[in-house]
């Protein structure tokens, strides 16, 4: 089976955990199958999947388990951290698995400049044996992907796409201008309609953990330029609910509340009790379900 990487929607899937902290693979399969049923591509071990809170052994287990499911949607695996040799080791493992591509984030914490970013990404792109989506998320890494670095990397044969999550529409437009051959995806759920107008090819989403079918409808309408004011407003409500405290706390709390996963357990320093109520999520769920009843 040939997998088309250019799916318009990828879900950055949470990693469910049992009350004691071990990975809950039963719930994990349920989530992955739900995404498959909605024809959403899946990204495992991103920041939403709490990748950096897992051990290397656990990360390997998550990849092996997911690959064994033989999903009929594209599968991306997150690559990100601080120590380059560890990321090379991770790629060497993942290259041997039945995955379709990587999401490679800008180096965290160190805030490298142009030359440091070029060296980092070139090393990982060279090591990869799969297509790669770079990831710009300055709110987590502390630095933007430099325009000059992106320009220097744009012709790399393993560079397929970019996930842009700075929240800056002008920056998004600049990435699109720099590399017309690179598919630029929105990493901002609420901004998908605006970003579709300036060249976004799709969305890498958190909210689709909760509402995969509805989110697919939203992205399809955004790319077609057919988003109504009402629809845009309700997705802003949904995104606000999912990011009211640190991601993926709200997503995990709601998935546990609706019995999609067995527990809302997170790895330290994240804790479910940061979310003090379900009102925002309940409101978002109610209005989304009402709006999309005919579709779902």
Convert the pLDDT of each residue in 133-171 to its tens digit: 999 999 999 999 999 999 999 999 999 999 999 999 999
What backbone torsions phi and psi does residue 216 show, to the nearest 5 degrees?
-60, -40
Question: SS in 3 state form for the chain?
Answer: CCCCCCCCEEEECCCCECCCCCECHHHHHHHHHHHHHCCCEEEECCCCCCHHHCCHHHHHHHHHHHHHCCCCCCEEEEECCCCHHHHHHHHHHHCCCCCCEEEEECCCCCCCCHHHHHHHHHHHHHHCCCCEEEEECHHHHCCCCCHHHHHHHCCCCCEEEEEECCCCHHHHHHHHHHCCCCEEEECCHHHHHHHHCCCCCCEEECHHHCCHHHHHHHHHHHHCCCCCHHHHHHHHHHHHHHCCCCCCHHHHHHHHHCCCCCCCCCCCCCCHHHCCCCHHHHHHHHHHHHHCCCCC
* CB atoms inside a 10 Å sphere around CB 126: 12
* CB atoms inside a 10 Å sphere around CB 224: 9
DSSP strand pairing (41-44 vs 75-79): parallel
Measured CA to CA, the distance from residue 223 to residue 219 in angstroms comes to: 6
Model confidence, pTM:
0.96
Judge contact between 91 and 128, C-beta under 8 A: yes
Fold classification of 9-226 (topology level): TIM Barrel (3.20.20)
pLDDT of residue 4: 84
260 given a catalytic annotation:
no
Q: Is the dihedral of CA 55, 121, 11, 137 positive or negative?
A: positive
CA 232 to chain centre: 20
pLDDT of residue 221: 96
Single out the catalytic residue among 10, 135, 175, 291. 135
Measured CA to CA, the distance from residue 292 to residue 29 in angstroms comes to: 25
- Nearest Cα to Cα of residue 197 among 216, 217, 169: 169
Single out the catalytic residue among 10, 102, 163, 216. 163
Measured CA to CA, the distance from residue 55 to residue 47 in angstroms comes to: 14
Give residue-wise pLDDT tens across range 215-244. Answer: 999 999 999 999 999 999 999 999 999 999
Name residues of the chain where pLDDT drops below 50: none
109 given a catalytic annotation:
no
pLDDT of residue 293: 87
């Amino acid at each position: 089976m040939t997998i088309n990487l250019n799916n318009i929607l990828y879900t950055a899937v949470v990693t469910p955990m049992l009350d004691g902290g071990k990975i809950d693979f039963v719930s994990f399969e349920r989530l992955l199958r739900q995404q498959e049923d909605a024809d959403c591509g899946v990204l495992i071990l991103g920041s939403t999947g709490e990748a950096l809170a897992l051990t290397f052994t656990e990360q390997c287990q998550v990849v092996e388990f997911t690959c064994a499911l033989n999903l009929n949607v594209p599968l991306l695996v997150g690559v990100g951290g601080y120590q380059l040799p560890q990321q090379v080791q991770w790629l060497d493992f993942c290259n041997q698995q039945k995955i379709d591509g990587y999401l490679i984030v800008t180096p965290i914490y160190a805030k490298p400049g142009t030359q440091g970013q070029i060296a980092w990404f070139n090393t990982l792109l060279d090591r990869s044996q799969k297509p790669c989506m770079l990831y710009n998320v300055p709110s987590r890494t502390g630095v933007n992907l430099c325009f000059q670095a992106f320009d220097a990397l744009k012709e790399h044969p393993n560079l397929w796409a970019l996930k842009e999550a700075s929240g800056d529409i002008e920056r998004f437009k600049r990435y699109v201008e720099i590399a017309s051959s690179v598919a630029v995806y929105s990493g901002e759920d609420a901004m998908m309609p605006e970003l579709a107008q300036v060249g976004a090819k799709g969305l890498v989403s958190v909210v689709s953990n909760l509402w995969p079918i509805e989110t697919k409808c939203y992205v399809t309408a955004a790319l077609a330029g057919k988003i109504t004011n009402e629809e845009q407003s309700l997705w802003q409500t949904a995104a606000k609910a999912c990011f009211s405290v640190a991601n993926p706390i709200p997503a995990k709390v709601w998935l546990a509340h609706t019995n999609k996963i067995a527990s809302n357990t997170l790895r330290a320093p994240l804790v479910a009790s940061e979310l003090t109520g379900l009102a925002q999520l309940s409101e978002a769920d109610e209005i989304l379900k009402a709006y999309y009843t005919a579709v779902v």
